[in-house]
Chain A
């Protein structure tokens, strides 16, 4: 009971500190803007820990953060093997192939008015579909190893990339295109010097959406069949063994991998599209 009470008190204290920080005079500074979510997250973790011990929640329902951390550090080799199999091979391999395929198709589609008119509705339709459902088919075709996971990822991210890139390539206005024409620029010159740079913010939007989709595709595809390694495999078998601390450890890995992947693409975007208003306003 004492632990539960402590959790409530801790929550109150954390919230009070955040109230003071957020409504205080320094709330616009960078330090405070970083501190507030950090305090919130830390309080949440502490409350979770205290409640699990205080209410004596069994391990098979919800392990405490400390138990997850112990499991995480004691099974680093397994987690690393799963990470390599699912993220580096399946998700990243599929991501590179799918993005390239999407962008190249978009360049082709953009050259023909007919194709754009016909393919875009198909692309928009496909973007809303539960494409994860193709996983059992692709696992059947490409076997249990990472190739089938990469294939699922390719199918999942192809259409978002296509739609975004096509939209981006149409973003130039008539004045800019005319200017290129007065320079006697060829198609590819005006493509590389004008239309591709203008399309970059759109392409990066697609790339950022695809990071999450890639991880989802690679993990879910493993539920339909996989070698005895991989994050999706580990999650489904550990759930079967009621080893929930292992499941949570894998989720921690997935969370870090997802955020790092997204952060990497976002950093690349900042480096390449520094001229765009949405990036400049942050300075």
Chain B
């Protein structure tokens, strides 16, 4: 309860700070508009205002403060503008409309989930191989770790274009990028998990005369579950980032990445912010969903959380 109260208080402070920041951020654009409308502003010309500090301008022209939160194309939109845009583009638009965020969200989500599925599946398979084969462990594992220090997302535009040139387009290229990003966290986490049973437990299975497959299904796999879920949560967030970045080079067709890019081309800041928040809500939702699954499955398996 105390946590919820503190959380809400911090949230209120952040929102308040955001509203306050709108005033100095938007003041120059507002003053230019006011000057064009023939109002008295100080200093009078845009040239003089360009080098003036934002706070000085606010103090000199207090009448613009009240307009800071309802600018048409603000540098920083107010929270309620973003909320209204989110509401209008999700609930009030038809899902099939090109302007509906749900439509764009669905495009991004399908690429994310497909990629996440592929990446997780391959990652688990490779982890199983690494745990059971000494050669694979020694030759692949160092590279898997090194590759995590490399910004692989730089590959995204190339993957899109190369796949396009051999005739693959649409969902799959984005899914491949998403898969690529979720692959390595899963491999590293799963290897750690499959190795987590200690010697006592492994020895116990030997005294039971269990073979490797039995040891895998009855001991290693169950004890890897907490590690698996920890890396799945990292993986799905990475997949979403991959899918969004994968949408950038296709030239803004559909998806959250396209909304971001189109918004930045046309200066539609409210659109950027609403796409950003929609993506954030989606990411939080996916991670929360995995968290619920984790709790259910681990409880059922009797693992103490």
- Is B276 part of the contact surface with A, judged by Cβ < 8 Å? yes
* Cβ–Cβ < 8 Å partners of A135 in chain B: 260
Contacts of B153 in A (CB 8 A): 216, 219-220
Interface membership of A259, Cβ < 8 A: yes
Chain A residues, Cβ within 8 Å of B157: 223, 235-236, 239, 247
B150-169 CB mask vs A (1 if < 8 Å, else 0) is 11011101100110011000
Size band of the interface chain B makes with A: 35 or more
A/B interface sample: 28 pairs, CB < 8 A: A18-B139, A19-B135, A22-B137, A23-B135, A37-B139, A37-B142, A121-B3, A129-B283, A130-B280, A132-B245, A133-B244, A133-B275, A137-B264, A139-B264, A212-B150, A215-B151, A223-B157, A223-B245, A223-B248, A223-B249, A236-B249, A239-B157, A239-B161, A244-B158, A244-B162, A251-B154, A254-B151, A263-B149
A191 to chain B, nearest CB (A): 23
Report whether B9 and A118 are in contact in the complex, using a CB–CB cutoff of 8 Å: yes
For residue B101, CB closer than 8 A to chain A, the reply is no
Whether A262 touches B9, Cβ cut-off 8 Å, given contacts A128-B287, A140-B75, is no
Residue B69 at the A interface, CB < 8 A?
Answer: no
Nearest chain A CB to B166 CB, angstrom units: 6
CB atoms of B139 and A137 under 8 A apart: no
A258: chain B residues within 8 A (beta carbon): 149-151
B289 CB to nearest chain A CB (Å) = 12
At the interface, yes or no: B241 with Cβ under 8 Å from chain A?
A: yes
* A239 contact set on B, CB distance < 8 A: 157-158, 161, 249
CB of B174 within 8 A of chain A? no
Check A18–B151 contact: CB distance below 8 A.
no
Binding site for B on A (CB under 8 A): 15, 18-19, 21-23, 27, 32-33, 36-37, 39-41, 60-62, 114-115, 117-119, 121-122, 125, 128-130, 132-137, 139-141, 211-212, 215-216, 219-220, 223-225, 231-232, 235-236, 239-240, 242, 244, 247, 250-251, 254-255, 258-259, 261-263
Q: Across the two chains, which residue of chain A brings its CB closest to B165?
A: A60
B54 CB, nearest partner CB in chain A, Å: 12
- Indicate if the CB atoms of A114 and B6 lie closer than 8 Å: yes
Verify B139–A130 contact, CB threshold 8 A: no
Contact partner of B154 among A60, A137, A140, A231, CB < 8 A? Answer: A231
Q: Give the Cβ gap from B192 to chain A, nearest Cβ, in Å.
A: 14
A115 to B7, CA, bound (A): 8
Q: Across the interface, do B279 and A133 meet the contact criterion of CB distance under 8 Å? A: yes
A residues in contact with B142, CB < 8 Å: 37
Of the residues A121, A128, A216, contact of B151 by C-beta under 8 Å: A216
A231 to B157, CA, bound (A): 12
Question: Is A137 in contact with B6, judged by CB distance below 8 angstroms?
Answer: no
Instruction: For residue A251, give the distance in angstroms from its CB to the closest CB of chain B.
Output: 6
In the complex, whether B129 has a CB less than 8 A from a CB of chain A is: no
Q: Within 8 Å CB of B140, what residues of A?
A: 37, 40
Asked if B47 CB lies within 8 Å of chain A CBs, one says no
Residues of B within 8 A of A114 (CB): 6, 9
B141 (CB) vs chain A CBs: closest residue: A37
Rounded to whole Å, the gap between the CB of B156 and the closest CB of chain A is: 8
> Given A117-B3, A134-B276, A212-B148, is A128 in contact with B237 using a C-beta cutoff of 8 Å?
yes
Neighbouring A residues of B166 by C-beta, 8 Å:
61
Distance (Å) between the CB of A96 and the closest chain B CB? 18
Residue in B10, B25, B263 whose CB lies within 8 Å of A122: B10
Give Cα A277 to B134, complex, Å. 26
B134→A22 contact, CB < 8 A: yes
Task: Across the A-B interface, give the 7 residue pairs with the lowest CB-CB distance, nearest first.
Answer: A118-B10, A136-B264, A40-B139, A118-B6, A262-B149, A117-B6, A215-B151
Residue of A nearest to B157 (CB): A239
Closest to A41 in B: B143
B2 proximal to A (CB < 8 A): yes
Inter-chain contact B134/A259, CB cutoff 8 Å:
no
Which chain A residue shows the least CB distance to B286? A128
Q: Among B10, B154, B275, which residue has its beta carbon within 8 angstroms of that of A219?
A: B154
B55, chain A: closest CB distance, angstroms: 16
Indicate if the CB atoms of B263 and A259 lie closer than 8 Å. no
Given contacts A39-B139, A129-B283, A212-B148, contact A137 B241 (CB under 8 A): no
In the complex the two chains form, what is the Cα distance from A139 to B75 in whole Å? Answer: 11
> How does the 8 Å CB contact mask read for B6-40 relative to A, with 1 for contact and 0 for none?
11111100100000000001000000000000000
Which A residues touch B75, using CB under 8 A? 140-141
Q: Is the CB of A254 within 8 A of B165?
A: no
- How many angstroms from the CA of A258 to the CA of B8 in the assembled complex? 38
Cβ of B68 < 8 Å from any Cβ of A?
A: no
State which of A32, A140, A224 has its C-beta within 8 Å of the C-beta of B269.
Answer: A140
B132 vs chain A, min Cβ distance (A): 13
Chain B nearest CB from A213 CB (Å) reads 9
**B283 / chain A contacts, CB cutoff of 8 Å:** 128-130
A224 smallest CB distance to B (angstroms): 5
B78 at the interface (CB under 8 A from A): no
Instruction: Tell me, yes or no, whether B179 is within 8 Å of chain A by CB.
Output: no
B111 at the interface (CB under 8 A from A): no
User: Is the C-beta of B240 less than 8 angstroms from some C-beta in chain A?
Assistant: yes
Task: Check if B284 sits within 8 Å of A128, measured CB to CB.
Answer: yes
CB distance from B151 to the nearest CB of A (A): 4
Interface centre among B8, B141, B154 (most CB of A within 10 A): B154
